[in-house]
Amino acid sequence: MSLGNGSKRVKSPVPRRTERRFRGVIMPTSAHRVIRRVKRAGHEPSIHGTKLWKSSCLIIDYLTKHPPEHCKTVLDAGCGWGVTGIWCAKTWLSAVVSVDADPAVFPYLEAVAELNQVSTAPLVSRFEKLTKAQLSGIDLLVGGDICFWDELVKPVGRMVDKAIDAGVKKIIIADPERPTFHTMAENVIAKHGGELVNWKISGSVDATGALLIVDNA
């Protein structure tokens, strides 16, 4: 845009978004100062734990509209940056166990938890390695975007088997409807019952997908 003196107005750069807020939880982007600080410390997740995944928001939105009867203890499986469990801790004061096979995700989870002024208990474990003792006493098991490879269909299914056997009262697993997720969900429903629910959100986060919901109360 000309200013009449031969010069042109320089548009100010659009500031990079560093965080979003969804149903009361703060979700930083990779540009946020706390995430950049963790990266500078050399922590590099290796199993897709490099950002917040939208399926977590599908679960949060569902839980906002359908709060479970039991939610004192929550296990966030394949937690990554841990936003689902963090939301449970912030909203319900739940005691949350955040589980991931990659120990490098936990500095990111801790940073997100600190932003939200809560904490969770980290546990490094693969899905199929979780024991009945570790699952015993859990009210709610959640997992977002945790069945993205063919090799994960059986491990996620085994985790659900153990959770049911351990008395976990409710299981919710969300996905943008990958074929691998549907295979796992069909196996679980055939064995334990449950349902698939289509879910969509819009606003600060836009996402669609499906929720596998298993009640075991």
Count of beta carbons in the 10 Å neighbourhood of residue 173: 28
Contact 25, 116 (CB under 8 A): yes
Residue-wise pLDDT for 108-128, tens only, equals 999 999 999 999 999 999 999
**Secondary structure letter of residue 30 according to DSSP:** T
End-to-end CA distance of the chain: 65
What integer pLDDT is reported at residue 42 of this predicted model?
Answer: 66
pLDDT at 17 over 90: no
Rg of the chain taking only CA atoms, in angstroms: 19
Q: What distance in Å separates the CA atoms of residue 167 and residue 23, rounded to the nearest whole number?
A: 29
What is the share, in percent, of the chain residues with pLDDT greater than 70?
A: 88
**pTM score, whole prediction:** 0.87
Q: What distance in Å separates the CA atoms of residue 51 and residue 72, rounded to the nearest whole number?
A: 27
Contact 175, 147 (CB under 8 A): yes
Residue-wise pLDDT for 124-177, tens only, equals 999 999 999 999 999 999 999 999 999 999 999 999 999 999 999 999 999 999
Higher pLDDT, 50 or 142: 142
DSSP one-letter string for 70-86: --SEEEEET-TT-HHHH
Alpha helices in 98-178 (DSSP H): 106-115, 132-135, 153-166
CATH superfamily for 19-43+50-215 is Vaccinia Virus protein VP39 (3.40.50.150)
Domains of the chain by residue range = 19-43+50-215
